Amino acid sequence: MIRSLPNSRAYSWSFNLFIICYFIFLFAPLLVTCVLAFNDSNFPSLPWNGFSLDWFISPGPERLGIFHDDQNLRSIWTSFQTAFWVAIMSTVVGTCSDFLFEQEAFPFKNWLYFLMLAPLVIPGVILGISLLLAANSAGTYFEANFGIDVGLFRPSFWLVVLGQFSFITTFVTLVVSARLKKFDTSLEEAAMILGATRIEAVWHITLRYLRPAVIGAAAVAFLMSFENFNTTLFLVGSEPTLPINLYLQVRDGSTPVINSISLLLIAGTSCLALVNLYFSKKEED
């Protein structure tokens, strides 16, 4: 049944076979996408017509490679900017919320903690529509009462950032809190006995200790933001992020340029994932 027990041959073999099938199931779609990015064809399908880099570097007009595809490049850049701001904001607020829930005592703490976890169980689509509605209500209110038109309240870049920030912060809080729980508070107390203020102690001692977890959380936040679809869908304005832009192309018929973007995405995220994994391994040691 397990390693330390004698297992019948049939049992081991069938289990191994099952695992191999599972991994094929896991990787088949990704592998096919990557391979077809290099097919010399106008459609993302077989037969194999030979190796070609057209869908990366061809300048068009018949085949427009990704490095010349302004629309897709712009959406990649938008996604980068969005993810950058979301990562920064959610890391700062998430770390604050860790200190608040781990080290402070105040009335209604359990209620607030429950509220902090709520974004985990709110479907992304709902978060998107409620933010859209609230922003719209706020915009109407400001316009009617103060006569000012606030751009933030219309579907736009910053509304997308706020929407993603609203639930990614919860994930950051959970990732960082795992490490903060292991922190020995007597270190902070020692610093404060030696004359540091609480804020100085947090800045010089606790944040130094938390650094690997904070960096890891920022990386996770960046990736989650870069890939978010559900919440973004309702908040996006005239600058679509990459997932939205890809979705529109896939829905309305696709060219292999999507395969080449996917390949770049797979390569990029795998690198980021491996780096993150490497650092979290180091943290454990």
Partner 1 sequence: MKSGFRLSFWLFLAPVLLWLFLLIVLPHIDLLLLSFRGENDMGDLVWTIDNYKNFFIEPIYWYTFVRTALYAIVTTLCTFVLALPVSFYIVKLARPRTRGFLTVLLLLPFWVSELVRVYGWMILLRESGVLNYFLLKTGLVQQPVEMLYNDVTMIMGLVYTSMLFMVVPLISAMESLDDSLIEAASDLEASRFTILRTIIIPHCKPGITSGAIVVFMLALGNYLTPNLMGGKNSLWFTEQIYNQFIASFNWNQGAAFGFLLLVLSSCIIWVGLKLSRHRLGEVAA
Nearest to 168 by CA among 211, 217, 221: 221
Contact assessment for residue 239 and residue 154, using Cβ atoms and an 8 Å cutoff: no
Shortest Cβ 184–partner 1 spacing (Å):
19
> 61 or 181: whose CB is closer to partner 1?
181
Shortest Cβ 169–partner 1 spacing (Å):
6
> 59 or 96: whose CB is closer to partner 1?
96
Shortest Cβ 182–partner 1 spacing (Å):
13
> 132 or 205: whose CB is closer to partner 1?
132
Q: What token pair was written down for 44?
A: 């993302």
> 61 or 238: whose CB is closer to partner 1?
238
Shortest Cβ 253–partner 1 spacing (Å):
11
Backbone angles phi and psi of 241, in degrees to 5: -80, 170
Q: Other CB atoms closer than 10 Å to residue 35's CB: what's the count?
A: 13
Shortest Cβ 194–partner 1 spacing (Å):
13
> 113 or 279: whose CB is closer to partner 1?
113
